[in-house]
Amino acid sequence: MNPLRFHFARLAGRLTRFLLRLVGRAASTLPGAVALRLAPGIMAHLASGREIMVITGTNGKTTTTALIVRLLEAAGETVVTNAYGANLASGVASALLAARPGTPAILEVDEAAFAKLAGPLQPTHVVVTNIYPDQLDRFPEPAAVRELLRQGIAATAPDTRLILCADDPELFPLAGLGGRPTLFFGAATGELAAADADMASACPVCGHKLTYEAVTIAQLGLFSCGSCDCRRPQPDLEIGHREAAGTDGTAELDILWDGKRGEARLALTGLYNAYNAAAALLAVASARPRLPREHLLRDLETARPAPGRQETLYYRGRRLRLILVKNTAGLEETLALVAAAPDAGALALLINNEPADGRDPAWVRAVRSERFPLPRVPIGIGGSQTTVLADWLRPQLGDSEPVEAENDLAMVDRLVELCPPERTIYLLPNYSALFALRRQLLENGAELHADTAAGAGR
């Protein structure tokens, strides 16, 4: 690239960032978009001379990224990251434009964007959380996502370290790709449940039906193929969880790491967040082998939720918990979490079909309601897909009707009236619904819980 063009594009991007910050607006994507428009090859120059870790996959990217950042910051490091899920090329470039030369970067990258960004970024580590059916209009089959991830990994250096979920058969073909060193995280034995007899996951290597001894979430579990060598690898780190007593939204983690046991506390609940914590611990330990593991387990407790990822707000005398849901696996796990929550006083589902969400809302209908029964509390529906939600809810609600209103904030206001003061309203929006509702709540007097506000500014 012409050096003059690079410097001009970088200056234009930084000036855009300055002007946006001056008027109080977020600068998470536009500065990068401006720089890339002026110099399409600028990404490699922005990445040059710095250590980069990339986190990708379907679910858990934002949370895993935030956990890695927190563990490194707790160890005294300064790192740069792309906040608020700005995980396309423009968001990644914006983050790097704001960073000093040589500052390590912890970057969340969209699964599709990873195929094109991995080469210019040349990460030292690639963390892949999982591959679930998601945004069916973009990725009709998980195999399409896996191929994009394969292309991206193949564009990295031969010594790039891979951190993969051992329990996900979709990731098996990526392990050791091109001889790249690979570490695995997985669920402890206590998290495994009996597999459904009709579970029909195809082997990602040969296409034959996989056999499951047990499962955790969706297709994750103890899998093997009778026709090839595809089977669950032995995890380097196994993790189990149990919800802490009370309503503080924390979990106790039991960890088996290279044969040694440990414990940690996490300000996030649910098995899916235990998986995220396991990925973060492995990634940081691989990147910083001199950091004592007991310090990493201790510092995990200081991590706070990213916006909308089990974030707690107080609004009109009620406690609200915002939990992003965006596909079948995520909604099933979240419904299981809410059904088991002792403080649940109301529940709301808010689903849009904007481009960021995926146009096809069929994933809602795929949730196995018989396996994930709804809690017996008032249930609201919002977003643009209330008809889809009402149809899906009808078998469980029977003669009852879900709570609706003229807009999402008004629907939450109705749930506030129906929810007992000592209980929590669980709000389950997808992407576009999440940020719209969160903004409306904050503009109308909601306050972030002190323990979650630390993560909200990322």
* pLDDT score of 216: 94
If you average pLDDT over residues 403-421, what whole number do you get? 97
Inform me whether the pLDDT recorded for 85 exceeds 90: no
Distance CA(421)–CA(441), nearest Å, equals 18
**Band of pLDDT at residue 456, cut at 50, 70 and 90:** very low
Inform me whether the pLDDT recorded for 254 exceeds 70: yes
DSSP letter string, 95-118: HHHTSPTT--EEEE--HHHHHHHH
What is the DSSP pairing of strand 379-382 with strand 221-225?
Answer: unpaired
Give which of 364, 415, 413, 423 is closest to 390, Cα–Cα.
364
Task: Determine the distance from the C-alpha atom of residue 75 to the mean position of all C-alpha atoms in its chain, rounded to a whole number.
Answer: 23
* pLDDT score of 282: 98
DSSP 171: G
| CATH top class, domain 43-300 | alpha beta
Digit-coded pLDDT (tens) for 278-324 = 999 999 999 999 999 999 999 999 998 888 889 999 999 999 999 99
If you average pLDDT over residues 192-210, what whole number do you get? 88
If you average pLDDT over residues 140-149, what whole number do you get? 89
H/E run at residue 311 = strand 309-315
* pLDDT score of 306: 83
Per the prediction, the chain carries an average pLDDT of 92
First to last CA, the chain: 32
* pLDDT score of 26: 83
How many percent of the chain have pLDDT more than 90? 76
Inform me whether the pLDDT recorded for 186 exceeds 50: yes
Distance CA(63)–CA(298), nearest Å, equals 18
* pLDDT score of 457: 35
DSSP letter string, 242-273: EEPSSSS--EEEEEEETTEEEEEEES--SHHH
User: Where in the chain are the domains?
Assistant: 43-300, 309-456
Inform me whether the pLDDT recorded for 66 exceeds 80: yes
User: E strands along 336-395, which residues?
Assistant: 344-350, 379-382
Write down the residue that tokens 């007097």 correspond to. Answer: 445
Inform me whether the pLDDT recorded for 136 exceeds 60: no
If you average pLDDT over residues 384-411, what whole number do you get? 93
If you average pLDDT over residues 179-202, what whole number do you get? 90
User: E strands along 39-139, which residues?
Assistant: 52-56, 80-81, 105-108, 125-128
- 361: Cβ–Cβ under 8 A, 6 or more apart, which residues? 351, 353, 385, 388
If you average pLDDT over residues 5-15, what whole number do you get? 93
More confident residue, 436 or 399: 436
Domain covering 309-456, topology? Protein-Tyrosine Phosphatase; Chain A (3.90.190)
- 378: Cβ–Cβ under 8 A, 6 or more apart, which residues? 345, 346, 347, 403, 415, 418, 419
| Least confident piece of the model among 102-116, 179-193, 319-333, 357-371 | 357-371
Q: Do domains 43-300 and 309-456 have the same CATH topology?
A: no
If you average pLDDT over residues 34-48, what whole number do you get? 96
* pLDDT score of 247: 58
How many percent of the chain have pLDDT more than 70? 95
If you average pLDDT over residues 219-223, what whole number do you get? 95
* pLDDT score of 246: 58
Inform me whether the pLDDT recorded for 135 exceeds 70: no
* pLDDT score of 138: 60
* pLDDT score of 340: 86
If you average pLDDT over residues 381-388, what whole number do you get? 96
If you average pLDDT over residues 97-108, what whole number do you get? 96
Dihedral class, residue 160 (left if φ above 0, else alpha if ψ from -120 to 50, else beta): beta
Strand partners, 231: 224
Q: What are the respective helix, strand and coil percentages of the chain, to the nearest 5?
A: 40, 20, 40
